[in-house]
Structure 1
């Protein structure tokens, strides 16, 4: 475990390195960044040696991610937009570990500065964030649980102007629709699900749309009748 002095030094060093790098440039050569890249490579090798996905997630959550907290805090505090593969990897890992608030902290910065993911992820950062959050929300909803709609809505807004496959954006609207329905907002739910169907005819929301439309018509009929009494 790092001492408070070590943690402070790591955070300050990360902040200084991020502040000195030009926007859109690279942190290559900065000692703290190079050290964290080396650690990242070592941690990736460790994860690759683990067969169980569940175990990988637990190792990320309990053992690896805490080691990056101070670097991330410093990099975000001093950052001017230089590409940072440590930050973007930690962002992905935080989603894997269920730390969506922590992932959003990095996503706001990374998306604002048009950062990219390391080569092994092979997809744009905005697409990855949209799909990961949507998949996580849908997984929770399938289990009968809830997901923070404000977080998902923020991801939708942060990635609104990004070019991505229609199917990915459809997932976002599908998840937002289900969350709106959980919150009792049938109108918003129907709007999101209809948009999901427009983007992807195979989104799997047709029955939900029909159910919501039927419920809306029934409510409208009841309200009309009540108004005549």
Structure 2
């Protein structure tokens, strides 16, 4: 065991060496999380300098692969501590169209009640539900396929979470419309009828939550189609 004088010398030497190392490289003594925050800050500056939303999404897709090991490590550790890097990557994955990757983080974030980084006014469940609903709407408006499985998963993991009724209504609306598009045109067969009735349930729920959600005409049209197909025996 070192004498008190030797212990003091060791502490003083370590402090001096650490101070010198920090002056040469400010990140020399940073933790892994601090290093990732530093990287994130640099990447956000790059994004801020880009005006095009489309190009920003491309940059995010490019950058996201660099964060995969970190995300995997955090999720595997399962500590549940607040992590602004992880929550930013959640948002970037949504923006980049990586629904499965976003849901992977979303489950963890909701389970541990993680908050969004400073600057975001919405609560985590609200952002997840609304961003997925908005993404589905953009795809639908552009004639692109909508991932209804991801929408259903988002609905599942946000069930029981507090959010504005209007936001949850948007999610039910997009699920209903996605299911309606998936069954094609009438007359409907048995499997189509089953999906159609499920779509109707989501549309009705959307209207219950927010009567100005903008789905009344589609709901009335689907109701007629289901009634006609059932009456004609097309589903038998």
* Interval of TM-score (by shorter of Structure 1 and Structure 2): 0.7 to 0.9
If asked which structure has higher relative contact order (CA below 8 Å, sep 6+), I would say 1
What residue number does 1:222 align with? 232
Alignment of 1:51-200 (within 5 A): 51-62=51-62, 64-184=63-183, 185-200=195-210
What residue number does 2:35 align with? 35
Alignment of 1:6-17 (within 5 A): none
SS in 1 for 2:233: helix
**CA shift for structure 1 position 144:** 2.3
TM-score normalised per structure 2: 0.79
**Alpha-carbon distance between aligned partners in 1 of 2:53 and 2:178, rounded to the nearest angstrom:** 27
| Cα-to-partner distance string for 1:53-74 (whole Å, 9 max, x where unaligned) | 1111111112x21211111111
**CA shift for structure 1 position 30:** 7.2
TM-score normalised per structure 1: 0.82
> For the aligned residues, what is the CA RMSD?
1.8
> For structure 1, which runs of at least 5 residues remain unmatched after alignment?
1-28
If you compute each CA radius of gyration, which structure gives the higher value, 1 or 2? 2
**Alpha-carbon distance between aligned partners in 1 of 2:220 and 2:30, rounded to the nearest angstrom:** 57
Question: Structure 1 segments of 4 or more deviating over 3 A?
Answer: none
SS in 2 for 1:136: helix
Question: How many residues of Structure 1 are paired with residues of Structure 2 in the alignment?
Answer: 197
